[in-house]
Structure 1
Amino acid sequence: LGLDKIGITVEERGKKITVDEHLETSVKGIYAIGDVIKGAMLAHKAEDEGTFVAETIAGQKPHINYNLIPGVVYTWPEVASVGYTEEQLKEKGTKYKTGSFPFKASGRARASGDLDGFVKVLADTATDEILGVHMIGPRAADMIAEAVIAMEYRASAEDVTRASHAHPTYTEAMREACLAATENRAIHM
């Protein structure tokens, strides 16, 4: 594209545009988002970055937390994840607890015949704050949004358990996994 001719710095053999913490390139007033900068190549990441840049230009208070941009694999069953993995928490030395709930124990999954998979919640041992959520199973791509919202507002596993979830639904699995993370209190196990 000849970006270097207008002063825009690129890296990775010219494949990625270098940006600062405001997503501004080396040329003042020119921003870059999405697949042309470092990070996951996800449409929803690019959308969040676009909102971030628009809010920056408008003088608002932009916000983006790359740790809370979910990853989704559109297979059958679906896979979705947000936040830290157990391996990352171990590397950081963070003490955590886990709670899992299998879809085979879900009334909705049983009624639909979608029994494969589970939801797993990782929460800080001391504070109960949710640090990561990983799921494989029916509607995981849709269900991960609850985890993102909970983590954005630093909810604890207990906080999620206190929110009523309609029964029978796939989304109950998130609540059940949080119940399992808080003193192994899952209801439908």
Structure 2
Amino acid sequence: MAKAKAKEKEGGRKLVAQNKKARHDYHLLTTYECGMVLTGTEVKSLRQGRASLVDGFVQIDGGEAWLHNAHIPEYAQGTWTNHSARRKRKLLLHRAEIDKLASKADESGHTIVPLALYFKDGRAKVEIALAKGKKEYDKRQTLREKQDRRESDRAIAAARRRQRALAGR
């Protein structure tokens, strides 16, 4: 228990939720780390490791960044103070970052997606990215490159094992 607290105080990053689908569906151009305005029951629910970013997206509205459709389930021990699971949450970014994101997101084909939700130094953070949607052939090409890289790594590892076996004789 003491080690976990010490690790968290050292600046450890405790991952709560990750959006792997976003890395598959989008070309990520730039990433930003930002804080969130949360209620107490949302933080307690996140500390239990419960959240989902699959349908989430970020929208700039009135000079403020808002995270929509991120699912943080209600806290089990919460009472009438519990939060709604899919409410929109305000993101904390610098004015220059918001302006830059807003201008880029207005371009055709660009969107802002959440990538990860985590605790850093005891504070809830969300990693967002300015992204451009991939076409279907881009997705297939990315998968093909990944498979080719995996096959070449396996071949290299097998060759090294054979060399070690021959050298050990």
TM-score, shorter chain, exceeding 0.5: no
- Bin the TM-score by the shorter chain: under 0.3
Relative to the length of structure 2, the TM-score reads 0.23
Relative to the length of structure 1, the TM-score reads 0.21
Higher relative contact order (Cα pairs below 8 Å, separated by 6+ residues): 2
Q: Give the structure with higher Rg (CA).
A: 2
